[in-house]
Structure 1
Amino acid sequence: MLLQNQIYIKGARQNNLKNITLHIPRDKLVVFTGVSGSGKSSLVFHTIYAEGRRRLMESLSAYERGSLRKTDEAEVDLIEGLSPAIAIEQKTVSRNPRSTVGTLTDIGSYLRLLFSRASRAVCPHCQREIPVNKKRTLIRQLMEYPEGTMLEIYSLDDVLIKTFIVQPQQHRSLEAIINTQLEAGEGFMKLGVKRDGMLTFDPELGCSDCGIVAHEAAAGAFSFNTPLGACPTCTGLGRHYYVDPDLVIPDKTKSIGGGAIQLIGWQCEQDKFAKNRKIFEALANRYHFDLFTPVEHLSEEALNAVLYGTDGERILIENPSIGGKPMNERFAGIINIVYERFNSYAKNELSEIKGEDKSVIREQLCPKCAGTRLKSQRLLYRINGQSIHDLSEMPIQELREFCQGLNRMGLSRQEEAVAEPIFREIAARLTFLIEIGLGYLSLSRPVTMLSGGESQRVRLTTQLNSGLMGMIYILDEPTVGLHSRDSGKLLRMLQRLRDLNNTILVIEHDEEFIAGADHIVEIGPGAGVQGGEVVAQGTVGQLKSSPLSLTGQYLSGARVIELPRRHRLQKMDVHSDHIRCLEIIGARENNLKNINVRIPLGCFVGITGVSGSGKSTLVNQVLVKNLRTRFERRASSLPADPNIRGIEWIEDVVYMNQQPIGRNSRSNPATYIGIFDYIRRLFAATAQAKAAKVKENSFSFNTAGGRCEVCSGLGVLVTEMQFMSDIEVVCEACKGQRFKEEILDIAYRGKNIAQVLEMSVAEAVDFFGDQHHIHHKLTLMNRLGMGYLILGQSAVTLSGGEAQRIKLVDELGGAKKGIGKLYILDEPTTGLHFADIQRLLNIFQELVAEGNTVLVIEHNLQLIKTLDYIIDLGPEGGNRGGQIVAAGTVEEVAAVEASYTGQYLRQILG
């Protein structure tokens, strides 16, 4: 029976779900919680959302379904009470460099409309403000001159293009001339009236000194994604790529014949019969040099010919084929050839650049547009002195203030009437972004530079603007990357979305979010095969009183994340000569305000502050880049050139971000942490393998030999469709197991290689109990709460937090582990339940106890309260951040009134 006020789920068995039955109230904010890997995503995304999307697709026509990605049917007996569902996941929206916050939120479209309707122009010569004319108004005014008046039309560089005599019935001729010239001048032209032999300019039409006339531009002319508005040099990307000759020939003491050029295909010393070798020999003959002369001793003419070509001159090249005729060809030069090849890949902006090309390609701001992405003429249109690029570069907080100052812009009454509704719409959308804690972003920020949490919150604001009712919205940990100050704002925004009669389903671990939910569902009790059950549900009070709810025990205080017995130092110690510190002097990258930062070594240190305060800039752009430059001895420019002292106290720097551990389905946890080599060795050592003469490599699905050659070891066959999403079908030859039948017949302790890869980490810990190299790393994964992961699980299915913790296992589980290292992690608590955070903290404390330093960027107060030392940035985000608000122990930061982190620490410390 369909219940109007509930979503009814019966027999959900997706992944690790244990045939659960559940009633979820509609039109409520429902939080799903539980330890990592308990089955929350399996229920919310892979069951509820997947089934809702599948049903929606079935309601469409075959033609409409063709352009949508196919969704498999969820393993569930029955779901009732579904309505259209929108999933706002925590992932980067797009890898397209053209996608920005402005394009994603549609605010950029409103800005372009605004500039096409209510902007004024400035003269490109004298920078005086001039009116923007509509074409029909301009032609009408010109035709109103007395008959016989001579109009002279010039290009912007004062070349006379056409002379026109005003006469009746010549309207269309004048229109054709003006159309041509305005197109050539990208909306501008010079127009004068000849009177008594004198050239005069009408101030009502344009600049009274220069005679420049500006034409009203279409909205598309202000877009960097159209030929009409994009800079022709960078095609609207704002960045320019070039081949660096110093990277093509990094060591000029070597000769060309001795390996000075190591680009694939141009390694002259490796193949004496390749065509490129013959090209070098021909160049040597023509420009009189020896292939074994050091490059630094070559003449400028000879080196230019190698790098930049023969300037159209043909040279005689010996044919590398035996008996082949000599070739008389032009040579474009290595740099031009590599650049052209790079451009052929760059046309597809989502494709990977070939490794050998990428190694010599450098990136800089486009020299033509200086990073604005637009044609220079588009920046001559202004509103209150600001171009569209200027407004796009403003922090959203400042842009809203600009939009709300309509009466201070000096617009005419007509311009105000046009601009007011557009400004109102822009301000409303900006307000949503500010309320959700993203006021520090700018509209020009590329989507590729947003964190998963930021992109999720940006997409959430677009849903709020839509005003839809009766929907199901599904969110995956929306508080990731949010300071506690902003979590409350996000919660209130979701409650507003709920109040529009929408159902909000949120996977979340944040304490404030759980407390603010209308209904809570806890999945557990453990992870993987030990999870998949509904252990508790109801209000926060009901969870607290439930003896089965692990979450409730932490919320009620029955369980707590332990505080350290004592902090390792006091604030005054940091400024003592007896304490070893890493000191950053004058950090001023991005929004950092020339700050000096002291990081005590041998401690557990956290960088905190509101979103956009400068934490990632300080750690990633300043500290990590500079330390890597020094430890890897790379020659590269330093960001803002800050001084860093105390590097001599660090053995090495280990940076673990949340980037994927692999970009395709062949990458998995077993291969990344290095245990798959040992597993293959064990299989190769079995009596069956020796009898069949099967070697270690045959147990790899990445190499030919033992893998299934029908699917090349993928387990699926992919059919590329020109007008539809690619179709994946399980390989019939290997039944998705990736290996040949003869390889699958070989068993180690009763399991074949495919079955081992299907084991969970928790199962594998017991299975490989006597294999130290394997068991040690798997035990670390288990300790970090990742026992539910599958050894052969595709890397592309792992969350950012899971990828980061796998990197930590790889570091700690091998011979690389040392003393005196600096471990740097960006928000390591992402995706972690209270119980999982405690496991992670135990690892961190062990590292510090062994003499290492652990530095984290973090918002989670449960972790922050355990730090030895806090560096709190702020006070706000964007331009209003970048300063040190507080620095010291937890208690000392909690006592600083100006610190938002301190305010929330006071609450949690009681």
Structure 2
Amino acid sequence: MALNKIIIRGAKEHNLKNIDLTLPRNKFIVFTGVSGSGKSSLAFDTLYAEGQRRYVESLSAYARQFLGQMEKPKVDYIGGLSPAIAIEQKAASKNPRSTVGTVTEVYDYLRVLFARAGTPHCPNCGREVKPQTAQQVVEQIAALPAGSRFQVLAPVARGRKGTFEDVLAQARAGGFTRARIDGVVSDLDQRFKLAKNKKHDIELVVDRLVIPTNGNDPDFESRLTDSVETALHWGAGMLLVDIAGQRELLFSEQNACPHCGLSFPELTPQLFSFNSPLGMCMTCNGLGEKVEFDPALFVVPDKSLHEGGVIPWGELRKKRHSWAYQIATQIAQRFRISLDTPWRDLPQEVRDLILFGNPNIKFRYQSENFTGNWPYEGVIHAIRRRYRETKSQGMRDYYSQYLSQQPCPDCGGTRLRPEATAVTAGGLSLVQVTSLSIRRAYAWVEALRGQTDPPLTTADLRLPIEPPFPIRPLTGERRTIAEEVLKEVRDRLKFMLDVGLHYLTLDRPAPTLSGGEGQRIRLASQIGSGLVGVMYILDEPSIGLHQRDNRRLLDSLLNLRDLGNTVIVVEHDQETMESADVIVDFGPGAGVNGGEIVFQGTPAQIKRSRRSLTGQYLAGKRTVTSPTTRRRQNGHWLTLRGVRHNNLKGVTVRFPLGCFTCVTGVSGSGKSSLVTETLYPALARVLNRAQTRPGNYDSLEGVEHLGKVVHITQDPIGRTPRSNPVTYVKVWDHIRRLFAQTPEAQLRGYKPGRFSFNVKGGRCEACAGYGQKLIEMHFLPDVWVTCDVCHGSRFNKETLQIRWKGRNIAEVLAMDVATALDFFGDVPPVRRILTTLHDVGLDYIQLGQSATTLSGGEAQRVKLAKELSRVATGDTLYILDEPTTGLHFADIQKLLDVLHRLTDAGNTVIVIEHNLDVIKTADWIVDLGPEGGEEGGRVIAAGTPEEVARVPQSYTGQYLARLLS
């Protein structure tokens, strides 16, 4: 067998039709084809699955018992298989404690850097903190006000568990008579029984002294010096001064501020970890946020008090006998305002009084049983009190709508304790470094290494520090210590730059990353590992990347190949395909019509293939058609003014209603911040009465021309195997009724509920209708396995005996959409809904396919189909984020037909997109930039594709110009 090839024989996983394939090793290979043609089935479910299985089989029997038996893919033979690593489209982490820095391990190295080469400063005065000598400690204590009574304590245990019998015995032997144990001073001649599993603080009382009132006293200074030296000896370099029980001063021979009297712990990597009790802010436990009642969620800025501007008060014009109306009218009289004035136009003092109350202002309350004057506590304080006092879960859920994550009031969102944020390297704190984009963090590292000329300044890093100062290179011992650490940090940052992640900041929470960003972070880690002889399998790494950044990603993939690895990419991007050594085209159709190898060869060869649909698009023989004319605006605009969310620079953006609009720009330019985090939440609050919090903006105009807003995301349609497409699009109810109307079902008295796998009766009770059972793996992720009673059918034997047109309910669930459309062709309500799934290019998915197996793009198209099946109103705004994810050229044409159909019905469609085939068909484009991160957040161009193509500053325009010409 040749070692330079991967040989596959008889692959039959999913819809693969017993295919044979030979792939060259150490090449860049692209699997392409229409959606559902079998690309992922071969790449992930066959090659990767078999690579994983063989690896597990090579482990010891002891290790395999924890991993379980991995099912062998349906393939006759695979030879020449390398160890396999899959880098899939999924978020980097859902843990709120994870950041870009922790996921990439850059933060771990930075913690070591600051612990070993950092300069500590006092959080109070900002002065550099250095170790203190015993004489310095004496001088600071002697400077206390005359007559001050204090005791000198030697801390021998701080926050440690144990009984400490030996420590107390040594203290007695050393001549000590008193000790302060857990805050209480006690005589040492008594026996103590301290709880073994409780943390204790123990300080030996060394001396009790009074600052003399007659100035210099040699005897006092001598005694104080002896006491300080004794305390530092017994306290292992630490000393505590308790001033008459009012305040305490901590001194240390390690690190202390001589001006503020504050001492600090030893610099260790744990001090800079927000996941360690030694480093985390204790108020928010290192999360940087706290759940608090959010003033923004209590009000509707565009509504007046009469119209319900204060949500808990409701519409006051309908509640003229309520206490809220009484307060509002008295406030209106006191401040001479109108109850018809929009909330945003009310004076700040009025808004603060309504929300937070004022104990110094009394209001008159009047009812049938009570009349009196009382202070008003404010809406927020009233809701907080009720939330705290109620025992009803329903009321707690109701009050929770006013809660949101707020920056921690103590650490300001930094997650760290003050001592950690006051340590600097090159003049910057760890918090400031992690707030930098990856590109600027790389420049900072180079500056510490002395590799920047001219010197880098804080102004170059765009840090809000006045006056700016140069980043000082590390010198002497610190440079020697930091050399290896800086090299590791620099290399990791460089790999992330190479995969187009220059705009991310190191403190960006990992859950906010897109699937594409998470995948590219893992790709950067793999490049950094330097492995050779590995088979890497990637799922659409170009997702979320602007055409401008694509070349850099491709260079990284080719570099991975050149190291001596086989790189297999499931991809639809034209530039990626044309850079491949080998293209494997799957098809010819989707589902049962796919599963074959249509073509295998070089990019030049596929362009000459008549059988390959992909080749025809690459050769330009087929194209995604551009409209001959653009829609005219209907005269109404949706205008969002002064958006300042994330990196957006107070932009004002206009969207024409009744049109198809694309929001474009390089990665990190602010597209999602504008559309999904500001525009959609702002509209949802007004149109859908949602309790969403939009990003900062000044005003929103034109909402009166819309009926509702729908955000079609790529989030899963369900998170368990019980969820599936037919239940989501609401066609399952119609199908269940058909089965309940059969003669046999009526004879047995079966109702539609009998054919539901969500309730008892007809479902298999062994798996509760899941078709699978959840196996808990304890310290490993839980896994789903096929039910051994119903064998995945979900129903019991009696239910499966009922047939409609010769098929039972489980066989219908196993049909793909194309087959079901033919099967139910004479049932109008079923046909109508299934047609929408067909229209969005989902012919190949099974009706009962588990929601957990659908990709983000497939889930989004299922949601789009559900919207298509609704009764059209013509005044809906649809928002989609990269709907072309996972789509072939031919599928993009289908998707565009659907989106334009929605627009032709009088709706408005706004799409965030990088795909030029979609952008060129838009009626209007809003292009953000010019770069990502802090260098983005501006509107570079707005207009028709032809108008944007003429703007030289627009990267999107540059690529459009080539395409439209």
TM-score over 0.5 for the pair: yes
Aligned match of 2:513 in 450, 454, 479?
A: 450
| Residue 222 of structure 1, CA deviation | 0.5
Partner of 2:583: 520
| Residue 306 of structure 1, CA deviation | 11
How has the CA–CA distance of structure 1 residues 649 and 55 changed in structure 2, closer, same or farther, with 3 Å as cutoff? same
* More displaced stretch, 443-452 vs 167-176: 167-176
Find the aligned partners of 2:436 and 2:138 in 1 and give their Cα distance.
Answer: 47
8 Å contact from structure 1 (residues 150, 165) kept in 2: no
Partner of 2:819: 763
Report SS of the residue matched to 1:545.
coil
Report SS of the residue matched to 1:64.
helix
Matched, 1:886 2:935: no
After superposition, residues 389-788 of structure 1 pair within 5 angstroms as 389-406=431-448, 407=450, 408-409=471-472, 411-569=474-632, 579-634=635-690, 638-726=694-782, 728-788=784-844
Partner of 1:284: none
Deviation string 1:180-214 (CA, Å, 9 cap, x unpaired) is: 769xxxxx97549xxxxxxxxx9x97545335454
| Residue 591 of structure 1, CA deviation | 0.8
Find the aligned partners of 2:860 and 2:370 in 1 and give their Cα distance.
Answer: 45
Deviation string 1:280-302 (CA, Å, 9 cap, x unpaired) is: xxxxxxxxx9x99999999989x
8 Å contact from structure 2 (residues 757, 770) kept in 1: yes
8 Å contact from structure 2 (residues 401, 691) kept in 1: no
User: What RMSD, in angstroms, separates the aligned Cα atoms of the two structures?
Assistant: 3.7
How has the CA–CA distance of structure 1 residues 521 and 179 changed in structure 2, closer, same or farther, with 3 Å as cutoff? farther
Find the aligned partners of 2:859 and 2:84 in 1 and give their Cα distance.
Answer: 28
Report SS of the residue matched to 1:129.
coil
Find the aligned partners of 1:483 and 1:212 in 2 and give their Cα distance.
Answer: 51
Report SS of the residue matched to 2:405.
strand
Deviation string 1:628-663 (CA, Å, 9 cap, x unpaired) is: 111023566553133121222223222211111112
8 Å contact from structure 2 (residues 238, 251) kept in 1: no
| Residue 117 of structure 1, CA deviation | 0.9
8 Å contact from structure 1 (residues 231, 373) kept in 2: yes
Find the aligned partners of 1:130 and 1:665 in 2 and give their Cα distance.
Answer: 58
Partner of 2:267: 217
Residue 268 of structure 2 aligns to which amino acid in structure 1?
A
8 Å contact from structure 2 (residues 721, 850) kept in 1: yes
| Residue 908 of structure 1, CA deviation | 2.1
Deviation string 1:681-726 (CA, Å, 9 cap, x unpaired) is: 1111111110000011111000111111121111223332434554
8 Å contact from structure 1 (residues 762, 788) kept in 2: yes
Find the aligned partners of 2:122 and 2:490 in 1 and give their Cα distance.
Answer: 29
* More displaced stretch, 422-431 vs 103-112: 422-431
Partner of 2:288: 238
Deviation string 1:599-621 (CA, Å, 9 cap, x unpaired) is: 12222211100000011111012
* More displaced stretch, 487-496 vs 171-180: 171-180
Aligned match of 2:235 in 136, 155, 176?
A: 176
Partner of 2:905: 850
After superposition, residues 344-363 of structure 1 pair within 5 angstroms as 359=401, 361-363=403-405
Find the aligned partners of 2:886 and 2:741 in 1 and give their Cα distance.
Answer: 39
Partner of 1:116: 115
Aligned match of 1:228 in 278, 294, 297?
A: 278
Find the aligned partners of 1:377 and 1:205 in 2 and give their Cα distance.
Answer: 11
8 Å contact from structure 1 (residues 10, 21) kept in 2: yes
Deviation string 1:261-293 (CA, Å, 9 cap, x unpaired) is: xxxxxxxxxxxxxxxxxxxxxxxxxxxx9x999
Find the aligned partners of 2:149 and 2:90 in 1 and give their Cα distance.
Answer: 53
Partner of 1:371: 413
Find the aligned partners of 2:858 and 2:372 in 1 and give their Cα distance.
Answer: 49
After superposition, residues 42-61 of structure 1 pair within 5 angstroms as 42-61=41-60
Report SS of the residue matched to 1:562.
coil
Aligned match of 1:796 in 815, 827, 852?
A: 852
* More displaced stretch, 645-654 vs 217-226: 645-654
Find the aligned partners of 1:556 and 1:356 in 2 and give their Cα distance.
Answer: 59
Aligned length: 810
Find the aligned partners of 1:492 and 1:686 in 2 and give their Cα distance.
Answer: 61
Partner of 2:193: none
Find the aligned partners of 1:338 and 1:5 in 2 and give their Cα distance.
Answer: 69
* More displaced stretch, 447-456 vs 900-909: 900-909
Deviation string 1:449-480 (CA, Å, 9 cap, x unpaired) is: 00000000011111111111111111000000
Partner of 1:324: none
Aligned match of 2:873 in 792, 796, 818?
A: 818
Deviation string 1:540-597 (CA, Å, 9 cap, x unpaired) is: 011111111110000001111111112235xxxx7xxx73221121111111111121
Report SS of the residue matched to 2:29.
strand
Find the aligned partners of 1:547 and 1:581 in 2 and give their Cα distance.
Answer: 46
The structure with more radius of gyration: 2
Q: Point out where structure 1 has 5 or more consecutive residues left out of the alignment.
A: 183-187, 193-201, 261-288, 310-332, 343-352
Partner of 1:6: 5
Q: Point out where structure 2 has 5 or more consecutive residues left out of the alignment.
A: 154-206, 208-222, 242-247, 299-309, 325-364, 451-470
Residue 516 of structure 1 aligns to which amino acid in structure 2?
S
Residue 73 of structure 2 aligns to which amino acid in structure 1?
A
Find the aligned partners of 1:236 and 1:294 in 2 and give their Cα distance.
Answer: 48
Deviation string 1:880-899 (CA, Å, 9 cap, x unpaired) is: 00111112221221222111
Report SS of the residue matched to 1:512.
helix
Report SS of the residue matched to 1:598.
strand
Deviation string 1:490-517 (CA, Å, 9 cap, x unpaired) is: 0000100110001101000000000001
How has the CA–CA distance of structure 1 residues 161 and 79 changed in structure 2, closer, same or farther, with 3 Å as cutoff? farther
* More displaced stretch, 766-775 vs 362-371: 362-371
* More displaced stretch, 40-49 vs 633-642: 633-642
8 Å contact from structure 1 (residues 717, 729) kept in 2: yes
8 Å contact from structure 1 (residues 611, 877) kept in 2: yes
Aligned match of 1:902 in 937, 957, 960?
A: 957
Deviation string 1:78-113 (CA, Å, 9 cap, x unpaired) is: 111111111000011321111111111000001101
Partner of 1:127: 126
* More displaced stretch, 474-483 vs 433-442: 433-442
Find the aligned partners of 1:543 and 1:750 in 2 and give their Cα distance.
Answer: 44
Deviation string 1:321-361 (CA, Å, 9 cap, x unpaired) is: xxxxxxxxxxxx8526779x99xxxxxxxxxx996785464
Aligned match of 2:893 in 838, 843, 850?
A: 838
* More displaced stretch, 6-15 vs 621-630: 621-630
Find the aligned partners of 2:110 and 2:149 in 1 and give their Cα distance.
Answer: 33
How has the CA–CA distance of structure 1 residues 34 and 679 changed in structure 2, closer, same or farther, with 3 Å as cutoff? same
8 Å contact from structure 2 (residues 232, 238) kept in 1: no
Find the aligned partners of 2:259 and 2:785 in 1 and give their Cα distance.
Answer: 71
Report SS of the residue matched to 1:77.
strand
Matched, 1:106 2:105: yes
Report SS of the residue matched to 2:237.
helix
Residue 174 of structure 1 aligns to which amino acid in structure 2?
H
Residue 113 of structure 2 aligns to which amino acid in structure 1?
L
Partner of 1:859: 914
Residue 942 of structure 2 aligns to which amino acid in structure 1?
A
